Every structure is written in C-alpha cells, then in structure tokens.
Amino acid sequence: MATKKTRTKEEITKDLEEVEDFSLADVEGIGNIRLKKLNLAGIQRAEDLIVRGPMELHQLTGLDFDACADMIEKARESLQKKDIIGKTSLSGRELLQHRAKKIQYLTTGASNFDEILGGGVETGVMTEIYGEFGSGKTQVAMTCAVNCHLPVEKGGLSVDGEPVRVVYIDTENSFRPDRMLQIIYERGMIETKEQTPAEIKAEKPKEPLNEEEEEKALKILDKLKVYKPDNAGQQVMVGEELGKELRDETAEPIRLIIVDSMTSEFRMDFTGRGELGERQQLLKKHIKHVSRIAEIYNVAVLITNQVMISPSVMFGDPVKPIGGTTLGHTSTHRIYLRKGGKDKIVAKLVDSPNNAQNEAVLTLTRAGVQDGE
Ligand code: GTP
Ligand code: MG
C-alpha cells in the first residue's frame, strides 16, 4: 500500500505559483506570430497547450501539425523542468521521489475502500467509478466532495485549515446540496445538537447546534462550484475552461474535480449510428482534457461512468463500462460498484497499476459511504 504523505502549505503554494508564473512566451520556439495565433485561439498559457493536444491545436490555430506537436513537447519539457508535471521518462527512483513529493490521497469515507485505492482518491490522476443504475456512484461522489474539505490529517485535502474548493460537474441533475449538508452534519464536521438515547435509537437525523454551526456547513457549500452542462458540447466546454478556474488566484485552490457522469451526455446527444465516430472523438477529447488537468494541477479527479450489458460474454461478468478503450486507458484507477444487499455496496478495483485486484464492502448511511462490516 502506498504511504500517505502530508505536504506542507508552502509546498502547495509554491507549486501553484510555479504554474502561475509560467507563460506561453517562456516556451522555446514560440515567437510573436505564433503567440498571436495561439492567443486568438484562446490559448493563453503553456498548460493550455498541453491540455489541448497536437491535433486540436492544429485545428484551432491553423498552424502546421508538426509545429503544434513540437510546441507541446517544449511546453511539457519546460513544465517538467519546473517539476510541475512528471517527466515522460525517468528512473524508478525519480518516479518514487516525484510521487512522494506530489501525491496526496483523499479519503472516500470508508477505510477499506481507501485501502484498495492505495490510500484514497489520488491527486494527479483520474479515478473512475462505474456501475449500474443505483449502485452508489453519486453517493460516493458526494461523500468525497464533502471529505475534500477535511484537514489532511483526517483524510481531506485542506492544509493548515485553509479552505479548498471542489468543482462538481453534474450532467445528470443528481447533485443534491441538502444531501451534502446531511453528510456534513452526520460526519461531525460541525457541532450538532446532542441527541437523547431515544433519538439515537430512532436514528433521528443530526441537526446543527445553532445558526453559527449551520453557517459553517453552508460555507462548505460555498466552496463547491457546480456546473450543469445541458449537452455534450457544453460539457466539453466546461472541461476546456477548467484550467482558468484552477488558476483563479482570487479564490482558494481547487483540490477535487468530480464529473458525474462523464459519459451520459455523450450517450444521449448522438443516437444515430453514423454519429458514433463523432461522439467517440468528442468524448476522447474531453477525457484527455480532464486527465491532463489532473496531472498539470495535481488535483484529484473522480469521474463516474455507466455500464452496458454485453450479451456476448459467456463467462465472467457481462457488465462493462461504457466509453470505449480511451476511458479505460486514461483512468488510472477503475472501480466497479455493485449493490450488495440493503445499504451495502461492493467496490471492486478493476484496473490499477499499483494495487492488486481487490474488493471492499461499503455501507451507505446518512453520513455517506462508510466501512461495511
Ligand atoms: P445512476 O446515477 O442512476 O446510474 O446511479 P448511482 O450509481 O449514481 O446511484 P446513487 O448513488 O444515486 O444511489 C445509490 C443508492 O443510494 C440508491 O439506492 C439510493 O436509494 C440510495 N440513497 C440516496 N440517498 C440516500 C441517503 O440519504 N441515505 C441512504 N442510506 N441511502 C441513500
Ligand atoms: Mg448517479
């Protein structure tokens, strides 16, 4: 299991400053003409170059494809020199050091679930949870959105009591702020009214001690930015704008991005057969943006995905995640959720570079997901 490492506030601030200090003009080979073309295409920063990828950059700017690939490579090298992103090739020791320095883990709320993930939802990469309707994907996502605000010592991503922000891209209209409040109360993140033994026995929901405590809970909701894209095109645009949002110096750092669900809009918008290729291309572009954002800004990215039943599977589980191979290859950790009886969820680690396949049983309570017994 990976060891958890707490990074100091100074280290995190330094990382963010380094990203902020880095402009397009610092990239080797970008002169005035290219700079102008890039700016016209809405690309202001070196990180935006990497997020777009060569083909998209070529289409956006009209610059030669090879030149675009070259600029991206140079931008990548520069960011690597500053240790903002990991090198494309490096020794095992360097990789270990890079990970120890950068990576943080966000608790899911269930320690056995954290364990199969190697410590929790990892920053810098994309973690995918897929499963059937009602398997608990949104509940896990909302629990993580609350937990992110906890101090690092308690499994959150807030350092030295500094507030953090969470971006929640809700494509299915399933995000519930009242459910978030309930998780906050039940997890004891604010002071709640003392309950009598009878109330505890009757499992009465917890309530804030007073208005001041309620306000504290609402402040956590203030730090949550919810996007509700109506269609796949809008969702892709939100993904493209994330870089700007992450660089906003006037607000607290964003430490978690949730996309619930990553794929549903792409499923609905394009129903014709002829459009399958187009849909796959757009989804691919979006997945790449989001995963590059995770890497460049070292944020935790949690995405959900639906499944389809593959009738051709004769042995094993016919339930397969949708989104094709791109999503499968881009998600560093893939978790398959399935219902496991009343209020129980079984989480199975399907695909991960550093953890053996494993399962954890979770309990769904008013406090979100917790250890199962
Ligand atoms: P789709 O988005 O439809 O694919 O499903 P999902 O995987 O996101 O499932 P979701 O997380 O929405 O729901 C999982 C289960 O949580 C459902 O059976 C709900 O009834 C249950 N649930 C929702 N709210 C609560 C709650 O406050 N407490 C408890 N214990 N269960 C809840
Ligand atoms: Mg859902």
Provide the domain limits for residue 24.
Answer: 15-94
Domain co-membership, 353 together with 218: yes
Domain co-membership, 269 together with 291: yes
pLDDT score recorded for residue 296: 87
Q: In the chain, how many domains are there?
A: 2
Gap between the Cα atoms of 150 and 145, Å rounded: 10
The residue nearest atom 20 of ligand 1, judged by CA position, is: 134
pLDDT score recorded for residue 152: 94
Q: Residues near 180 by Cβ (< 8 Å), separated by ≥ 6?
A: 142, 145, 146, 220, 221, 224
CB 174 near ligand 1, within 6 Å: yes
pLDDT score recorded for residue 96: 72
pLDDT score recorded for residue 198: 93
Residue 10 lies in a domain: no
Residue with tokens 């016919």: 318
For position 193, which CATH number holds? 3.40.50.300
Residue 9 lies in a domain: no
| pTM for this entry | 0.83
Distance 258 CA to ligand 1 centre (A): 16
Residue 40 lies in a domain: yes
Residue 8 lies in a domain: no
Gap between the Cα atoms of 86 and 12, Å rounded: 16
CB 139 near ligand 1, within 6 Å: yes
- Phi/psi of residue 267, nearest 5 degrees: -75, -35
Of 94, 114, 148, which residue sits at a domain end? 94
Asked if 124 contacts 103 with a C-beta cutoff of 8 angstroms, the reply is yes
Residue 327 lies in a domain: yes
Asked if 266 contacts 278 with a C-beta cutoff of 8 angstroms, the reply is no
Residue 1 lies in a domain: no
Domain co-membership, 71 together with 195: no
Of 94, 124, 151, which residue sits at a domain end? 94
Domain co-membership, 273 together with 350: yes
Residue 206 lies in a domain: yes
pLDDT score recorded for residue 72: 87
Asked if 72 contacts 50 with a C-beta cutoff of 8 angstroms, the reply is yes
Domain co-membership, 145 together with 80: no
Domain co-membership, 30 together with 137: no
Of 75, 94, 113, which residue sits at a domain end? 94
Domain co-membership, 59 together with 124: no
Domain co-membership, 290 together with 270: yes
CB 331 near ligand 1, within 6 Å: no
Domain co-membership, 69 together with 115: no
Distance 96 CA to ligand 2 centre (A): 35
List the chain pLDDT tens, one digit each, 373 residues. 444 455 566 766 665 555 545 578 778 888 888 888 888 888 888 888 888 888 888 988 888 988 888 888 888 887 777 767 766 666 777 767 777 778 999 999 999 999 999 999 999 999 999 999 999 999 999 999 999 999 999 999 999 889 999 999 999 999 999 999 999 999 999 999 999 999 989 989 999 999 999 999 999 999 999 999 998 989 999 998 898 888 888 889 999 999 999 998 887 555 555 566 777 888 888 998 999 899 889 999 999 998 887 766 666 677 778 777 777 778 888 999 999 989 999 999 987 666 666 899 999 999 999 997 6
CA 60, 261, 121: angle at the middle one, nearest 5? 95
Residue 2 lies in a domain: no
Domain co-membership, 205 together with 342: yes
Domain co-membership, 67 together with 175: no
Domain co-membership, 120 together with 73: no
In sequence order, the β-bridge partners of residue 335 are 129, 349
For position 89, which CATH number holds? 1.10.150.20
